Structure 1
Amino acid sequence: MGREAVSRRPEPADEGGLRGRKKRETRDRLAHVATLMFIERGFESVTIAEIADAAGVSKMTVSNYFPLKEDLVFDAYEGVVDSLARVVRERRPGESVLHALRRSFSASLNEQHPLNGRCTPGFARLVYDSPRLRAREREIDEQREAALADALAAASGARPDDPAPGLNAAQLAAVHRVLVRSVRELIRAGTREEAVRAHAAQLATAAFDSLEPVLGDHCIRADEPSA
């Protein structure tokens, strides 16, 4: 969860960057410490005071970085919320939204990534065992779908009252939601890594194929103009 620190001493003009980096490092450390404690003892059994003590900070510091206790687990939620919309914005010339999302999911399977649900067995069990974490994850899923709908509306030039972006986003987000839950369930059950990847690839093929007749040609990005 932590980011690699830059070892060189920054110039005085970089003080803002240094402060920002220290804040990110503190945030990463709090999330890492908390998640390990949650995995060991359960989400509901660990208090903010205990996390603060283990991390060597005050309770106020923990709350300042993480107003929601659940986001100590989902500390990368902002990136998750934007993950599908970002794929749409960055799709290749000549590529449809569906094909971009399909390509990105397939490319992510060899690593732990917000798009595919791969995680450690401890994390998979942690989320499964906590109603509060599952509820928070559903909220994040809804925000991700809304962000995707906004990206589709921008890509298609849809009017504000056009329901198509929301309907299309619901289908595309549902595919990723099902894939993530399926992958995490296999991990929770102790399935070997190679088998998890193979199952995810097979399920993704079936899921994206099912949307091909409807969304295969939707929002194809125009070719970039020649220089």
Structure 2
Amino acid sequence: MERHTGPPRDEELGLRERKKRRTRQRIADEATLLILRRGFEQVTVAEVAAAAEVSTMTVFNHFARKEDLFLDRVPEAVETVTRAVADRRPDETPLAALRRRALELLDERHPFGAVGESFPRFWQVVLDSPALRSRAREALEELEGALAAALAGAAGEDPAAPGDDTRLTAALTTAAYRTAYATTARRQLAGTGVDEAAAGHRALVHRAFDALERAVPGPRPAEAGPGAPPAP
């Protein structure tokens, strides 16, 4: 049986929550169109509210800050990594499940997969805005924390208090994928075509996870149980 954690899927929500989710998406879509056209600093929250036909208060009911109007997929990113770990196959390690999901996202041309015709313009807007770059760094910290909690749960630890090795694994995994993603983004910004970028990103993902499999901490001798042989 599949294990589910994180935010509920759309089909798991009631009518009221589905309406709220659709409103949030409409606001984000209108904000993205305006910001792509004019730049982040040149668009006001009031303009986004008018375009989405909601009040400014409604915008802030769904988004804590203006930056989240453009970087609105942070909750989805958290859900993606936590579900990848929680719903992994019986024979999969968490890292194997995360590798598989990263490659699925690439094949789907999902924004988290790093490759797509329209993505470079989005990244350029982020690069041009100090506020968005700062929020993106915060989002990575949130993602790392969520991954640590998911890995802790998979290891039988308290998700609210992951162990040091679990936190290290989450930090290394987040950094590795961020580096692969950023490398692919830079290549596309420099003019690399989608097919070539996708092939390069696939290779980067495999290299990143191969390195992680070698680098992440395993059980220490003291944790292997009574009578365990000493470390070599």
TM-score (norm 2): 0.79
Letter in 2 for 1:70: E
Contact 1:116–1:183, Cα closer than 8 Å, also in 2: no
CA distance in 1, matches of 2:110, 2:139: 15
Letter in 2 for 1:132: A
Partner of 1:57: 54
Letter in 2 for 1:58: S
Partner of 1:37: 34
* Cα-to-partner distance string for 1:62-112 (whole Å, 9 max, x where unaligned): 222222111111222112123222211111112112211111112221223
**Unpaired runs of at least 5, structure 1:** 1-15, 219-227
1:35 Cα deviation (Å)? 0.6
Partner of 1:204: 205
1:216 Cα deviation (Å)? 9.7
Letter in 2 for 1:189: A
- After the TM superposition, which of the residue ranges 158-167 and 129-138 deviates more from structure 2? 158-167
1:118 Cα deviation (Å)? 3.5
Letter in 2 for 1:176: Y
CA distance in 2, matches of 1:81, 1:111: 18
Letter in 1 for 2:135: R
Letter in 2 for 1:99: A
Letter in 2 for 1:203: L
CA distance in 2, matches of 1:90, 1:43: 36
Contact 2:115–2:194, Cα closer than 8 Å, also in 1: no
Within-5 A mapping of 1:8-87: 17-87=14-84
CA separation of 1:112 and 1:161: change in aligned 2, threshold 3 A: closer
CA distance in 2, matches of 1:118, 1:70: 23
CA separation of 1:114 and 1:143: change in aligned 2, threshold 3 A: farther
1:145 Cα deviation (Å)? 0.7
CA RMSD in angstroms comes to 2.5
CA distance in 2, matches of 1:217, 1:109: 29
Contact 1:30–1:55, Cα closer than 8 Å, also in 2: yes
CA distance in 2, matches of 1:28, 1:158: 35
CA distance in 2, matches of 1:157, 1:20: 32
TM-score (norm 1): 0.80
* Cα-to-partner distance string for 1:124-173 (whole Å, 9 max, x where unaligned): 21111111111111111111111111122222234757311001111111
Give structure 1 regions of 4+ aligned residues with deviation exceeding 6 angstroms. none
Percent identity between the aligned chains?
44
Letter in 2 for 1:150: A
CA distance in 1, matches of 2:199, 2:95: 21
* Paired residue secondary structure (1:143): helix
- After the TM superposition, which of the residue ranges 164-173 and 80-89 deviates more from structure 2? 80-89
CA distance in 2, matches of 1:194, 1:217: 37
* Paired residue secondary structure (1:54): helix
1:17 Cα deviation (Å)? 3.4
CA distance in 2, matches of 1:102, 1:161: 21
1:213 Cα deviation (Å)? 2.2
CA distance in 2, matches of 1:162, 1:65: 33
Answer yes or no: is 1:129 the counterpart of 2:111: no
CA distance in 2, matches of 1:82, 1:186: 27
CA separation of 1:128 and 1:111: change in aligned 2, threshold 3 A: farther
Contact 1:99–1:216, Cα closer than 8 Å, also in 2: no
CA distance in 2, matches of 1:204, 1:217: 21
1:215 Cα deviation (Å)? 4.2
Answer yes or no: is 1:153 the counterpart of 2:152: yes
Letter in 2 for 1:38: I
CA distance in 2, matches of 1:209, 1:144: 21
